[in-house]
Structure 1
Amino acid sequence: MADATDSAVAARKGPRDRRPGRAQAQVHAARRLGEARIALAAGDAATAADRFRAALATAGDHELADEQVAALLGLGDCALETGELTVAREHFEAVEKLLAGEPLPRRATAIRGRAVSHLLAGELRYACHLLESAIDGLHAAGTQDPDALLLLHTAVIAPYMDMGAHARAAQAAELALALAPSATEPALVAGMHRSVARTLIAEGRIAEADASLAKAQELYQRLGFHSDLAKCHWMRGYVHAQGGNLEHAERELRLARDMLAAQRSVLFADQVEVELADVLRRRGSHSEAGELLARLLDRIGPERGAIHAAGAHRLLGLIAQEDGELEAAEEHYVNALSLLERAGAAGDLADLCRLLGDLLRSTGRVEAALDAYRTGLGHRAAIGTTTLGPAPAKPQSRPPAY
């Protein structure tokens, strides 16, 4: 990431005696970083990015390493919020380069950020690889850093769930819950509760999932983290949808979508709209759902929101099939299948293969239907997933649960 690292170390032109002293520059950078974090928490990623860039310039002028790292991490988080995944990845890579000689816990936040950028791009296996490698590295070194471990175990839940590795996701959730009492950052605990809720939903423990989200929401409200609060509403909408309470699901998802859109968290708002469209379809609003999904597919795709792009095609296929448009339905299912195979989303892929197989069988193409079923079964037959390899090692001893 040549641009980010160059900007981080470049010195400004001008007479040396006109530049602020190092101590003064440190104060200036710290103030900018504080302003940036407040703006990002409030959901204003654009303003936050401007403040982070200002802090980065000052830190680069005076070789303030900690401030450079903080500014680059902040810029990476801003880029994730606005859906600029390549830019985000470059910022996180720049941090890892600056911290190359530092202990692994110092690099954990950057590794997590880079993994999230790959996850959002639909590169699930690589996201898992990054997080698993870091977790194994911490355990191998005997590092007892609950914040770093909590961050990484929480982050790996989503790609595990998307890949259909539910047992691994549950294990990561269990370890994260055990680490939470030792964590020093409330935001990490809030993020853990939000991620653990997804494993509870998969186990059918809807009431517990909603309680976990309520804890996350309370913490985010206390911290003033508006973007994360919006994602809690998103998740609660998903919980209501899984429980069949479609009216409440629609209300929560619309609220989450509007909050994220107002904060210019474009990619996340698009992802919420896919789930909102599912609820609208289930409530009988085919026309509104179809129009919403058609617009979405102009903005998301293989390199940006691949899983949700596949979800959009899946829903359009269901709508077309329910309306008797079988050729259109098959086309959407095949498009979704291609996206899911590339991403390695085993659970969604198996479900999609079932839908496609049933459609093909209903039109008399039995051999083609069997091929679709075999494809889905092939992705479900392996333990966890066919490509992940061994699970991350468990820590030798867990922190005490106070």
Structure 2
Amino acid sequence: MDEPAEIGRRVQRLRTERGLTQRQLADPSYTPAYISTLESGKVRPSETALRFLAGRLGVSIEELTTGRPAHLATELRLGLTDAQRELATGAADEAAVRYRRLLTDAEHLDLAPERAEALLGLGDCALESGELDDARRHFEAAEQLLADRPLPRRARAIRGRAVAHLLAGELRYACYLLESTIDELSSSGLADPEALVLLHAAAIGPYIDMGAHARAAHAAELALALAPRVDDPALVAGMHRQVARTFLAEGRTADADASLAKAQTIYRQLRLRTDLAHCHWMRGYIQAQNGDLTLAERELRTARDMLDAKRATLYTAQVEVELADVLRRLGRYEEAAGLLSALLELGDRHGAVHAGGAHRLLGLIAEERDEPEAAEEHYVQALSLLERSGASGDLADLCRLLGDLLRRGGRTEAAMDVYRTGLGHRAAPGTTTLGPAPAAPALRRS
């Protein structure tokens, strides 16, 4: 609500436009003197008085107290819904154009919740297009706008920031953001099931990349327990998609595939094409793990084509790393190396973890082509990238590959040093690198 002086000037303007005297506006419930005092800004009208005056002047209470016609706010909210649908079914850059226009409208109308929603949408668009700095900035701005709201209302912005850091290879900071928010929710009595499922599901990815599989399994267990209390089907589907990763880490491929099937069913119903593409991506990975490389290639190409059609460049590049590994295992080295080289030409834009994975695969290709010097160069570059990100599980495996290469070349001492480094990375995750795991929340039964 505006200050009394602003409301008073608005009442006077609207009264004059309608050709009413102060007495005519006041009758039969108030006096002309009260209207005069109100118009001069010397009194703040009560809700009862505002309702009476709005009715006499033919406007909504919102327009009387803020100057915003009610229909404009409604149209803005409908526009945000349309933009969200466009992001789900179309291209991220086109959805971003709509979100930017809606953000300008929300700023003009001074509608903080709608500004925050537009910023969250822009953050999601930036994640898809690989503009991770922009994504962080949008999510941070949304969180600041919602600073006076309850923590569950800010969970989506915090989760967005964490995903941006995760995709940039900053795994530990992503875990810190998610874990600290979960702990705050649990300790403050604001253990909202939807917020907790969103945050626990988001934590599974960085946990697995860091090799903290026990933590990932614990987060999945908590998310599954909370899922029956969540009404948002897209959120439940996202949870199932992330839980599938913990099943894969435990070698439970049938359970992982079943979890993905649940997610795919929901995504098809909701026409969420980016999320559906992620399911094809993970199913391709499962088939590759099972040794069915032909089916794996088909699933990964489906995912890549769906993401490319939406111009989701970040995720497209990440799928191509998985696809290149399948092509390598099929003996199609030139095709695989071409995909990986194109990815690396983009620099670190798509994150250290995936750039490190690309160098690792190029090293394997070089080894299989009997090019040990090129293989060592790629492995060393991969080590540098993965050490920066904290992807401990991948680092341990990479140290094994490099150590074996050095040992076969007769460089035993250097190989031993690399093996020791790998053992250090294998021991660290989930113990010394992270603090205590977030506790299970004490949820009140409704």
| Residue among 146, 149, 152 paired with 1:102 | 149
Runs of 4+ aligned structure 1 residues displaced above 4 Å come to 397-400
Which residue of the partner structure matches residue 280 of structure 2?
233
Is this contact kept in 1: 2:191–2:443, CA < 8 A? no
Structure showing greater radius of gyration is: 2
Tell me the CA shift for residue 27 of structure 1.
2.0
Which residue of the partner structure matches residue 375 of structure 2?
329
Tell me the CA shift for residue 383 of structure 1.
5.4
Q: Mapping of 1:28-177 within 5 angstroms?
A: 28-177=75-224
- C-alpha RMSD of matched pairs (Å): 1.7
Q: Could you tell me the TM-score, scaled by structure 2's length?
A: 0.83
Unaligned runs of 5+ in 2: 1-13, 18-65
| Residue among 349, 358, 361 paired with 1:315 | 361
Q: Which residue identity is paired with 1:22? A: P
| Residue among 303, 306, 321 paired with 2:352 | 306
Q: Which residue identity is paired with 2:173? A: Y
Which residue of the partner structure matches residue 6 of structure 1?
none
Tell me the CA shift for residue 144 of structure 1.
3.1
Which residue of the partner structure matches residue 8 of structure 1?
none
> Any idea what SS the aligned residue of 1:261 has?
helix
Is this contact kept in 2: 1:168–1:391, CA < 8 A? yes
- Residues 290-327 of structure 1: CA deviation (Å, up to 9, x unaligned): 111111111242x5321111111001000101111000
> Any idea what SS the aligned residue of 2:400 has?
helix
Range with greater deviation from structure 2 (143-152 or 350-359) = 143-152
In the alignment, the residues of structure 1 paired with residue 249 and residue 297 of structure 2 have an alpha-carbon distance, to the nearest angstrom, of: 20
Tell me the CA shift for residue 31 of structure 1.
2.5
Q: Which residue identity is paired with 2:104? A: A
In the alignment, the residues of structure 2 paired with residue 240 and residue 183 of structure 1 have an alpha-carbon distance, to the nearest angstrom, of: 31
Is this contact kept in 2: 1:179–1:398, CA < 8 A? no
Tell me the CA shift for residue 21 of structure 1.
3.7
In the alignment, the residues of structure 2 paired with residue 32 and residue 45 of structure 1 have an alpha-carbon distance, to the nearest angstrom, of: 16
> Any idea what SS the aligned residue of 2:350 has?
coil
Unaligned runs of 5+ in 1: 1-15
In the alignment, the residues of structure 1 paired with residue 106 and residue 96 of structure 2 have an alpha-carbon distance, to the nearest angstrom, of: 15
Q: Which residue identity is paired with 1:261? A: D
Q: Mapping of 1:339-378 within 5 angstroms?
A: 339-378=385-424
Q: Which residue identity is paired with 2:271? A: G
Tell me the CA shift for residue 394 of structure 1.
2.1
Q: Which residue identity is paired with 2:255? A: E
Tell me the CA shift for residue 48 of structure 1.
1.1
In the alignment, the residues of structure 1 paired with residue 199 and residue 445 of structure 2 have an alpha-carbon distance, to the nearest angstrom, of: 16
- Residues 4-45 of structure 1: CA deviation (Å, up to 9, x unaligned): xxxxxxxxxxxx99x994312202211221220111010321
Which residue of the partner structure matches residue 205 of structure 1?
252
Range with greater deviation from structure 2 (58-67 or 222-231) = 58-67
Tell me the CA shift for residue 382 of structure 1.
2.9
The reply on whether 1:181 has 2:239 as its aligned counterpart is: no
Tell me the CA shift for residue 386 of structure 1.
3.2
Tell me the CA shift for residue 51 of structure 1.
1.4
Q: Mapping of 1:253-268 within 5 angstroms?
A: 253-268=300-315
In the alignment, the residues of structure 1 paired with residue 257 and residue 155 of structure 2 have an alpha-carbon distance, to the nearest angstrom, of: 29
In the alignment, the residues of structure 2 paired with residue 139 and residue 300 of structure 1 have an alpha-carbon distance, to the nearest angstrom, of: 40
In the alignment, the residues of structure 2 paired with residue 399 and residue 126 of structure 1 have an alpha-carbon distance, to the nearest angstrom, of: 33
Is this contact kept in 2: 1:36–1:47, CA < 8 A? no
Q: Which residue identity is paired with 1:322? A: E
Tell me the CA shift for residue 124 of structure 1.
0.2
Number of aligned residue pairs? 383
